[in-house]
Structure 1
Amino acid sequence: MKVKMIKYFRLKKFKPSIFTIFPNILLALFLAACNGLEKEAYVKVGQEYHEASFVGSASCIECHQQEYELWENSHHDQAMKIADSTTILANFDNTTFTHKGVKSSFFKKAGDYFVNTQGEDGNYSDFKIVYTFGYTPLQQYIVQFPNGEYNCLLTAWDTVEQKWFHLQPDLDIKHDEWINWSGGSQRWNTMCADCHSTDLRKNYDLAAGVYNTTFSEINVACEACHGPSSAHVSFYNKQEENEANGVLPPEMYMGSSVPPKELVDKCARCHSRRTNLTPYFDYTGNFMDHYFPRMLEDPLYELDGQIRDEVYVYTSFLQSKMYGLGVSCKDCHDVHSLKLKKQGNDLCLTCHVPDKYNTPDHHYHAMNTDAALCVNCHMDGKLYMVNDYRRDHSFRIPRPDQSVKYSTPNACNKCHADKTAKWASDFIVDKYGPERADHFSDHLLKGYTEDNQEFKKVFSDKKYPEIARATAIGLYANTSISYEEILDLTRYLNDSSVFVRNQTVRALETIGSSDFSPQVIPLLKDSVRAVRISAAHYFNTIDRTSVEQLEEFKKASGEYLTELNLNSDFPAGLHQLGVYHQSLGDSDKALEFYEKAVLEDSYNNRSRINLALIYFQKGLVAESEATYLKIIEQEPDYSYPYYMLGLLYNETNRTDKSLEYLAAACSKEPPNANAYYNYALMLQQKNNNNESIEIIETGLKTFPYDERLLYIKLLAEINLNQLNSAMNTCRLLLQINPNNRDYQSILQRLQQGS
């Protein structure tokens, strides 16, 4: 199925008009009448922008010539184009490129552009290039498939070096893998289209496996940012009549008077790593009415919040003091050309005092060198897609002292690669003194490695950025915390930050107890869709029966199901549909979605884990065992399948194999408290109490306050008549659970017997 398009007009010349003859006079009149800055209010002209229709950027040129010319040939303009001799930058004159034994040949035929390469069936075929994607420093090329899919080649053109290159140079990718160019990871409809075209509607039919994706304009045109403009154009087509009747122009989306944080929120729609919640963006609500942003978590981010994977700026910028002080995208970038407003340090010195910062007394580098550029210390970056250098927008002060202690990267050693982090840290101390300004990353790093209460210091203090606070809540919930600490966590369900409220709901779901359902119920009616969906997810997973008659639950579940179906062309989306139906008790439907997820991505072992469990529950033991073994084959260092196989073998009376796999689970990553518990318990059942204690001690290094591990340690110590050790263990258990009568009784008996 072909992509539906409204014809894109690229006008090179304009007829003389009053605008071109008297540009300054008319520009002043235009600014007064059109952008609304001189108006006290806006009114409806038939319909709001979110109810209007798209009329195309050609309708904007007459009044907005300057803005149009700035936008033309920008990255937004060049986001996507029809492939032809004016848009293709690469060499298609019978050139070839070979990667890991796969040869791609690029050629032209009858005015069209083609590549001959290996398809998803493993055979070589000719594929017609239908669209270009991007402009510089690289350009990709898109191929159409019969079911309405459009896929980007992984072989791209380096527009700077003028050569072909592969976007995954280190990977040996099989033709049928999800990450291959013909697989889902390079599917334009799924991965790219929403941010590279205007008024994008994905229109995926899960049952048929077919796309009917449409857009109003092929690239990121005027209405992508400013919303459908039919009402705006209609007003100015009858401007004199409307003004004579006292009618004011309709408000445009993302106008020039948008407050800074709201502007950042609006740009985030495309400049963020996020999940879609709605079938299309309708220019209503805020960012989290349409998207879930990703938190500052590994592997997308370094443990201190610096960028690692491709995260597209938004949640990096939210970390910065600049964002907190009201700086927005347009303070540095021209909103139409996207170019920086000034070059080098001149841009930073628009706000920062030159005599204080643009001097060797501040940066200790030679003036007018790359080393003296503010961005090279405060906006370190990374290469993505091999040659696309993007800077970290958290604007942080380099912290080589953190690198010394936690192995996080720092900007100093990015340039001084021949020096150690200790050298850089000592230099900082020598020049700036021993004290570093408090930063949320200090506490996140300590939370990961030393004390989980450091996470609480972040999320409980509103001086830290909202995104950092929300991240800390998720990290905290994944550590060993007491019932009282979980109960205290529920107060953040009422936090003023939507990020914090949302992440608290998700944290409580991770914890897995229905005790906190009464506190979550109000979130089903939260003002923001993302939070309502998270609350619906919580109840569908944890405690559906307590709320299934509530109207607010039904409505929120409807929004949740919309999100699930919308993302059903992702393996992760299919997995979530499986989880949803599993929570409803429909294991057959869940099985169907998990199997689809694995078919879509043969390395989707999260779905395999759930598949194996359902197989076992259905009595399909051999299928369950084979599925766990397949996961181990693909991920031999992953602890969970070893643990589950250990349980399976125990259930099927294969004790020796059970012990073998539980032991293996205790030596793999990530650490699994359940594996330590079950393995130690089985050793005790075989009267191997000393070995059991050794395993428990190993587990307690990672899970020092795990009540179950401490309890079976207590049992082993009693069995071995180690009464003093047993009393110490029992006292620790009573610190964790002081009202437990069994612990009180055991301690009393131990004291009497000592």
Structure 2
Amino acid sequence: MARAWLAPTLLFGPALAWSIAAAAGLAWTATDTAAWADLERHGDPVAGSASCRGCHPQQWQSWHDSWHRTMTQRPETGRVVAAERALVGPVGPVGPVGPAAGSGRQRQAGVLAPFAGEQLDYGGFRATMDRGDDGTPRVVVQRLDDAGDQVVGSPVLDVAVALTVGSHRYQQYVAQLGRAGGDDSELWRLPVAWHRAEQRWIHMNGAFVEPEGEVGSLPDYERHLSRWNDNCVFCHNTEPVPGRSDDWPGFRTRVGELGIACEACHGPASVHLERHLGNPLRRLLASADPGTDGSIANPSTLTPARESEVCGRCHGQRIAKDIAAVMRDGDGFIAGDELASVSRPIFADSTIAGAEGLEHGRPFAARFWPDGTPRLSAYEYQGLLLSPCWDPAGDDGLGCGHCHDMHGATPDGQPRAGRTGEGACVSCHSPDTLGGAQRSGGHGGHGQHVGAVDCLDCHMPRITYGLLEGMVTHRISSPDPAALLGRADQPDACTQCHVDRSRAWAAESMAALNLRSSPVDPSAAQAEERVASRVVLDLIGGDPIQRNLAAHALARPGATGSLEARMAWIAEGLEDEYPSVRWFAWRGLRSLVEQLDVEQVEQQDRRAALLDELQQFDYLGPIDARVEIITRVRALLGPGPLADHPELHEQLAADRWALAIWIGE
């Protein structure tokens, strides 16, 4: 009988013993409160994203594939930079770099632009992007002669690229140079950038919302040659410290890691590594219940308010509580902190010391629509705070993580699976309570816009400008065009899609569909809306952001109105004095022309001719060259908007000069 038990005991005994020991170890580890207690991590060193990979390979890979990782890079590698608190300056990792492996002319992984001798003429200057003998990307800017053909004199800028900033829509370049009394510890963003989608160089004056400068004016050309150490460093790096103090000259800037890396959202991980690296049982328990470990922050286990503040630190322009302290040592914020303890978000009525005399004491008002809704990107957090879904108490309500997943499968926008379009809403709202317009025969399922309209089009319309794009607002609201009747200072959701309709029509349609809205007073409608749509009026007479968004709306898929009419209307923007408006008009017109029916023989030649003209059109080019192309384009498209009402067109165009705005960041 004893022999019958011998074989099973020898076979399974060790495994059973190990199982009992492991269970005992897990039980002991789980009840060891000191092993899970919250640890003070403020001021701890950053461990670096590379240290996260071994235990969190999937999360590391999703981060590595994101635009966050490439927010700031060194040009010689494009890889994850070592995460020690290295000084970013003349004695740190930023400086002249050697050639990429294999060849001094080989294109580096972190640099999107070719840097192969390309030239960009703009504003009376020529920028040449090439490489030094060692392969380092360089930018040289020289003045052009009066004819605009030849460079004259010594270079006004001749620098090596030390850092790249951004890589999603366009990539900017940063160089190390002393300027304005500074020293070589200063890094400055250069005035040219590489646009990823269009594969071309642009001048930064053409990316922001401001009119052209004076040709030949160096201050105008260098308007966006801005210092990186106390500007870009904050939202494009992990644990940034500008290092500016009266106690020493210049900057002693350092970052925990270049780009937005793991510890930007989870906080310093040094003590987390010390706690877990030598204890596999503790790692196993921590992965099973990530909210119990006090050595690291997991935003997904925080309340919606605390979680959203992790995002709002960068995606919500703010004013530091103690500016001098932040300039010296950084803000010290880590995930789980209350953001208000170190800074306050900027709103339309925010003020800052020293700016009392600017814009009637409201220096930030131009960044918001009259109702307080942000109209620029990098204010997404403010949009959330203004939404009815936000819970000020912070324990419930909507948070960034409801719609976004930093470790999801889609880098663009980082949407959570199933939360795009109406999926973002039905996760909280029962479908039975939604779709009033659909039930009334309008949007969604039964009307003319089948498949073209979802919740976001109405409740988060594209009334935000940023990075040469029209973006959805993050202030959730219900459309109410009747409340804006008689006003021309803010777009509404309805006419951003119904680009051939007036605001009065939109207000009356809301009432006809029995949708909630303000009382409709037809007499309040502007007289000019009887002869042109709201978007066309915005394109001609709105302020620069309205004109950007109007051109964007005219070219959007699903916009109403005939293709021919929209092409004739949008071409108006090619003549605008703001480069950003010309960009939207040029890109939008090109996309509309590409939709022309090539099966019609007469359209084939017209389409080819238009595309050829648009290929030659440079929104940053000399005005004489632009006018010649616009004249030929207009001949192919026919009369522009308000051609039958020239006096109204002239009046709207003249009035918009009073609406000029300058927004650089």
TM-score, normalised relative to structure 1: 0.48
Question: What are the superposed Cα offsets for residues 278-329 of structure 1, whole Å, 9 maximum, x if unpaired?
Answer: 4213246411111122123422211112222344211111011222351111
Local SS of the residue matching 1:215:
strand
Local SS of the residue matching 2:128:
strand
CA distance in 1, matches of 2:242, 2:75: 21
Give the Å deviation of 1:336: 3.0
Question: What residue ranges of structure 1 are gaps of 5+ in the alignment?
Answer: 1-28, 438-668, 670-754
Return the match for 2:340 from 273, 284, 288.
288
Q: Are the equivalent residues in 1 in contact too, given 2:482–2:507 (CA < 8 A)?
A: yes
What aligned pairs does 1:186-585 form with structure 2 within 5 A after superposition? 186-206=226-246, 210-239=250-279, 249-276=293-320, 277=322, 278-279=325-326, 280-283=330-333, 285-297=337-349, 298-324=365-391, 326-337=397-408, 339-341=414-416, 342=418, 343-354=420-431, 356-357=433-434, 360-361=438-439, 364-365=442-443, 367=445, 371-382=452-463, 384-407=465-488, 408-433=490-515, 435-436=517-518
CA distance in 1, matches of 2:69, 2:441: 38
Q: Are the equivalent residues in 1 in contact too, given 2:123–2:221 (CA < 8 A)?
A: no
Question: What are the superposed Cα offsets for residues 211-247 of structure 1, whole Å, 9 maximum, x if unpaired?
Answer: 1110121111111111111111001123269899x9x
What aligned pairs does 1:625-664 form with structure 2 within 5 A after superposition? none
Cα pair distance change 1:39/1:144, threshold 3 Å: farther
CA distance in 1, matches of 2:465, 2:121: 21
Higher helix share: 1
Local SS of the residue matching 1:195:
coil
Q: Are the equivalent residues in 2 in contact too, given 1:254–1:266 (CA < 8 A)?
A: no
Tell whether 2:135 aligns with 1:111. Answer: yes
CA distance in 1, matches of 2:483, 2:142: 46
Cα pair distance change 1:126/1:178, threshold 3 Å: closer
Match of 1:132 in 2: 164
CA distance in 2, matches of 1:144, 1:221: 23
Cα pair distance change 1:353/1:81, threshold 3 Å: same
CA distance in 1, matches of 2:307, 2:38: 26
Question: What are the superposed Cα offsets for residues 692-715 of structure 1, whole Å, 9 maximum, x if unpaired?
Answer: xxxxxxxxxxxxxxxxxxxxxxxx
CA distance in 2, matches of 1:363, 1:158: 42
CA distance in 2, matches of 1:118, 1:404: 51
What aligned pairs does 1:617-696 form with structure 2 within 5 A after superposition? none
Q: Are the equivalent residues in 1 in contact too, given 2:482–2:517 (CA < 8 A)?
A: no
Please tell me the residue identity of whatever aligns with 2:223.
N
Aligned residue pairs: how many? 400
Local SS of the residue matching 1:432:
coil
Return the match for 2:175 from 130, 143, 153.
143
Instruction: Give the RMSD, CA atoms, in angstroms.
Output: 3.6
Cα pair distance change 1:39/1:332, threshold 3 Å: farther
Give the Å deviation of 1:250: 3.3
Local SS of the residue matching 2:383:
helix
Match of 2:190 in 1: 153
CA distance in 2, matches of 1:347, 1:249: 30
Give the Å deviation of 1:361: 2.7
Match of 2:47 in 1: 55
Give the Å deviation of 1:355: 5.2
CA distance in 1, matches of 2:117, 2:296: 48
Q: Are the equivalent residues in 2 in contact too, given 1:140–1:156 (CA < 8 A)?
A: yes
Larger Rg computed on CA atoms: 1
What's the % identity of the aligned pairs? Answer: 25
Please tell me the residue identity of whatever aligns with 1:258.
L
Cα pair distance change 1:150/1:236, threshold 3 Å: same
Return the match for 2:57 from 65, 70, 78.
65
Q: Are the equivalent residues in 2 in contact too, given 1:235–1:250 (CA < 8 A)?
A: no
Match of 1:180 in 2: 223
CA distance in 2, matches of 1:83, 1:363: 55
Local SS of the residue matching 1:53:
coil
Match of 1:95 in 2: 118
Please tell me the residue identity of whatever aligns with 1:282.
G
CA distance in 1, matches of 2:37, 2:515: 61
CA distance in 1, matches of 2:470, 2:154: 33
TM-score, normalised relative to structure 2: 0.54
Give the Å deviation of 1:55: 1.2
What aligned pairs does 1:693-712 form with structure 2 within 5 A after superposition? none
Question: What residue ranges of structure 2 are gaps of 5+ in the alignment?
Answer: 1-21, 77-107, 144-152, 287-291, 350-364, 520-659, 661-665
Give the Å deviation of 1:118: 5.3
Give the Å deviation of 1:67: 0.8
Give the Å deviation of 1:105: 1.3
CA distance in 2, matches of 1:90, 1:149: 23
CA distance in 1, matches of 2:119, 2:345: 39
Cα pair distance change 1:140/1:64, threshold 3 Å: same
Match of 1:171 in 2: 212
Give the Å deviation of 1:201: 0.7
CA distance in 2, matches of 1:326, 1:46: 26
The answer to which structure, 1 or 2, has the higher relative contact order (CA under 8 A, 6+ apart) is: 2
